[in-house]
Structure 1
Amino acid sequence: MQYRMKTHPLSDDRLNDLLNRIETGSLATMNEDGTPYNTPVHFVYINSSIYVHGLPKGQKIDNIIRNSKVGFTAYDMQALLLDENGKPCDTNTKYESAIATGNAALVTDIEEKRKVLQNIVAKYTPQLAHITLPDNMVKGTAVIRIIVEELTGKYYE
């Protein structure tokens, strides 16, 4: 286990806050040749699952269909903590981070997709959350559910 995971783990409340507050994450999938593919994504955290959305075709979709195992990271760098004596090697970072592993699958149920997409709208454009999403947009948007198997978080301040 990493040193800071032992000394600075995020509490469940802080971990939930981070995943509900932070705007971007990174979704790691596996390419057919075994190399990792890391994609920046918008996401929502609902009932211990992470959801992302996007185009219904592409490399991350192909990778998930072939291999459902994924990794996910969310990170909030809040400030640089400069050494009072000006030593660059003693500079640190104030941050919070979350790392999840799990299994990803495309959501096919239209009502679940609609609920997730409404949550995404509410998170990123709350002023538009009252607008009903058109059926063709819900049907035409890929929604990926990551069932989290392991979730850890750490911080430094």
Structure 2
Amino acid sequence: MRRTDREITDLTTMEQIIANGHVITLGINTADAAPYVVPTNYGYEFDQDKLTLYIHGAPVGKKRTLIQADNRVSFNIVTNTALYQPNDDKLSHYSYFYQSIYGVGKAVLVSDLTEKEHALRLVLKHEVGHDVPGNIDPHDLEYVGVIRIDVASFTGKQHAQPSGPEK
């Protein structure tokens, strides 16, 4: 990373960024070398420092077809964004604040119904902020497409807003 002053190395901070984000942008390899990039919501879990991500969608489609051909993926999560507008007229003083996570891993098309239910509950928990009680109909589990991303590595980067008054 060129801007090492913006690198995030603290795992707790990276976990907070993942928790605060709501959209993951998934990059999937294609045969013509132009990646297919798709935004979606997600669920996640940490087992110590190992990150696993889950996304859901249709049981057929371009994402799944591409993953079957090449399961290597990359992803990006961005949160806490805001435009910085300077107090002067200099256009070069404008900037943008953000926190982000970038990572790579292997995508797995999940077929096991128990794992699908686990994944969907993680997505719901992430979006609403708590466990959602109730049953998921087995027919719905059969139909939904779930993709697990076994994350090999990830890193964080930020241009954080100053916490005190601007100088």
* RMSD, aligned α-carbons: 1.6
User: Cα offset for 1:124?
Assistant: 2.2
Say if 1:8 and 1:105 are closer, same or farther in 2 by CA, change over 3 A.
Answer: same
> Aligned partner of 1:8: which letter?
R
User: Cα offset for 1:83?
Assistant: 2.2
Bigger mean CA offset, 48-57 vs 125-134: 125-134
Alignment partner, residue 40 of structure 1: 39
Alignment partner, residue 155 of structure 1: 158
Gaps of 5+ in 2: 161-167
Alignment partner, residue 9 of structure 1: 7
Aligned partner of 1:63 among 57, 62, 66? 66
Structure (1/2) with the larger helix percentage: 1
Alignment partner, residue 54 of structure 1: 57
Aligned partner of 1:138 among 123, 137, 141? 141
Would you say 1:75 and 2:78 are equivalent positions? yes
Alignment partner, residue 117 of structure 2: 114
Q: Would you say the 8 A contact 2:44–2:122 is kept in 1?
A: no
Gaps of 5+ in 1: none
User: Cα offset for 1:90?
Assistant: 1.6
TM-score by length of 1: 0.91
Q: Would you say the 8 A contact 1:19–1:44 is kept in 2?
A: no
TM-score by length of 2: 0.86
> Aligned partner of 1:37: which letter?
Y
Between Structure 1 and Structure 2, how many residues are aligned? 155
Seq. identity, %: 24
Aligned partners of 2:140 and 2:52: how far apart in 1? 22
For residues 1-42 of structure 1, the C-alpha deviation after alignment (integer angstroms, 9 at most, x for no partner) is 221xx1122221111111122111101101232221000111
Alignment partner, residue 21 of structure 1: 20
Bigger mean CA offset, 116-125 vs 15-24: 116-125
For residues 61-83 of structure 1, the C-alpha deviation after alignment (integer angstroms, 9 at most, x for no partner) is 00100001101000114211122
> Aligned partner of 2:39: which letter?
P
